[in-house]
Amino acid sequence: MRGKNKGKGLKKVRKPQPIAGPPNVSASFAEKSIASTSASELGIPRLVCSEIATIVFADTAEPSIVADILAFIPMVSRAMYQLYDCIKIDTVGMDQSWFTPLFTDPASFNCACMVVQSYFDEFLGRTRSREAQRADQIRYAKTINTLQARIASEDDNIRLSESTIMTVLGMLGHAYTSRDIETSNRHNSGLLQLVSMRGIESLLHNTRLCVELIRCDLYHAIDNGSTPMLLNPNNILWELPSSVNPKSQTLQLKFYVKLHPELAAIWAAMFEFCTHINAAYRDKRLSITEEQFLQNMTSIMYRLVYLHFPLGSLDEAVRIGLIAFSSPVFLHWNRVELPDRQFNFKYRDSLITLDLEVAEVEPQEIMWLLMAAAISMAHEEDNLAWLIPWLNTTFQDCGIQTWDELKTSLDEVLWVGIVHDEVGKALFTTASEWTTCEEPPALVRTM
């Protein structure tokens, strides 16, 4: 699955890049110092920008870093959600639950400095000076020392405080953005242990924090094939939407007829969610709240992770396909994703071992399963070698000749245009151009 493609030279594909900020952020700040950008461009109150030097944070930092932090805070919501345009954001601009600790908690402030700098460095392609790198090392040491002291405390009010949890989450984000997978895994394990000791239920008042913690738990379980730590099968907090009735849906392909009842219920819930999101993208009045996003993510994803079926069965292929399809909808920030190696291997095996005749899988059904697989691997295009020829053949079997025809077919099964269209169109172009006389090409990005 990870073999090199050495076909003809083609354009690179990229999943949605780190978002450039809210709509009122001009493109000029990608070229200039953020510190020199106007308040109106960053969406920061004029008074705040004019008095950066007078703001007393929990620790000291250069004015340019403070400006980066103030620029990032209004961007948090947009950066967090691939579905940002379909979500009603409860707090506009500076979210107090994320902002207040910067004034009261030195560890939180130093961590924020590193996370924000790392985010903008990647987004803007900035190269840090040696002095800035040394300053980061000092902040890192301060943060780690403070966290170690807190975690060693016998006082749960200190060890399991919301501020401590948010700081560990920030350190995880810094390691992840820096592509330090080993460190990010260590931080993630420690974070989940802390939240497990405190109980995720005690944090439900902070929706955004819970979204991130649930994401960490699910991502860790999915990529490592492990058991989630925060919620168990008997305590998933929210039931699947009660209004969902698979028999009432008018899908052209009745996947659920062939599926285990529990999996069919999850499929129907995801279909209803996707249908609503697609409608909300066209009509903002239908946008969901962050709480609804959290509830749907939790009720759908945990049930998918806890279900298991025999390898080679249609149920297992669809279960893994739903995880692959739903992950960019629920789990991903607006940024390039890191590889999900173990999960992608598992998905490949579930498809290769699937007996299509025994399972009575229709071409349009296998097409959706293959597209879900390809989307989950598109950011690691070396793994598409085994998929592209199969997609090419399946497109022919389904009579698919254009992207519009493919999108119409996928919409009838399960699809979220705002999330999947860009990569899906690139995959269609690549697979359609493949011929039997050449190795599968790298993924073409079409704009």
pLDDT tens sequence across 137-153: 999 999 999 999 999 99
Are residues 194 and 321 both part of a single domain? no
The reported pLDDT for the residue numbered 370 is 96
Residue 14 covered by a domain: no
394 found inside a domain: yes
C-alpha atoms less than 13 angstroms from C-alpha of 102 in its C-beta half-sphere: 22
> Domain check: are 125 and 68 in the same one?
yes
Task: Judge whether 294 lies within some domain.
Answer: yes
Asked whether residue 257 falls in the same domain as residue 194, the answer is: no
Domain contains 228: no
Q: What is the per-residue pLDDT for 8? A: 36
pLDDT band at 245 (very low <50, low <70, confident <90, very high): low
Residue 276 in this model has a pLDDT that exceeds 90:
yes
- Of the three residues 198, 229, 258, the one that is the final residue of a domain is 198
- Residue 152 located in a structural domain: yes
What are the two backbone dihedrals, phi and then psi, of residue 143, each rounded to the nearest 5 degrees?
Answer: -65, -45
254 shares its domain with 322: yes
- 74 vs 165, more confident: 165
Q: Is the same domain home to 395 and 255?
A: yes
**What size, in residues, is the chain?**
447
Contact call for residues 81 and 131 (beta carbons, < 8 A)? no
pLDDT recorded at residue 179: 80
Q: How confident is the model at residue 433 (pLDDT cuts 50, 70, 90)?
A: confident
Are residues 165 and 252 located together in one domain of the fold?
A: no
Predicted local distance difference test score (pLDDT) of residue 260: 93
153 and 262 inside one domain? no
- Grouping H, G, I as helix, E, B as strand and the rest as coil, residue 98 is helix
Average pLDDT over residues 40-50: 45
Are residues 291 and 194 part of one domain?
no
Distance CA(207)–CA(221), nearest Å, equals 21
Name the 3-class secondary structure at 88.
Answer: strand
pLDDT of residue 142: 93
pLDDT score recorded for residue 269: 92
Q: Are residues 134 and 261 in the same domain?
A: no
Q: Does some domain include residue 373?
A: yes
CA–CA gap between residue 132 and residue 118 (Å, rounded): 11
For residue 349, the tally of other CB atoms under 10 A from its CB is 16
Give pTM, 2 decimals: 0.82
Residue 229 clears pLDDT 90, i.e. is over it:
yes
Nearest to 333 by CA among 230, 180, 211: 211
How far is the C-alpha of 297 from the C-alpha of 87, rounded, in Å? 13
Whose CA is closest to 188, among 165, 208, 172? 172
- Among 53-67, 132-146, 299-313, 354-368, name the one with the lowest average pLDDT: 53-67
pLDDT at 28: 31
For the chain, what is the mean pLDDT? 80
- Whether 440 is in a domain gets the answer no
Are 146 and 85 in the same domain? yes
Per-residue pLDDT tens digits for 105-123: 999 999 999 988 888 887 7
The total domain count for the chain is 2
Contacts of 306 (CB under 8 A, 6+ apart): 228, 233
**Closest C-alpha among 373, 368, 378 to residue 414:** 368
Same domain, 136 and 280: no
Tell me, yes or no, whether 55 and 179 share the same domain.
yes
**Domain termination site, one of 136, 163, 198:** 198
Does any domain span residue 230? Answer: no
- Distance (Å, whole) CA 445 – CA 424: 10
The reported pLDDT for the residue numbered 180 is 85
User: Which residue range forms the structural domain that includes residue 396?
Assistant: 246-433
- Alpha-carbon distance 69 to 333, whole Å? 18
CB 138 within 8 A of CB 117: no
Of 328 and 441, which is predicted with more confidence?
328
Average pLDDT over residues 38-65: 62
The H-or-E segment that residue 71 falls in is helix 63-72
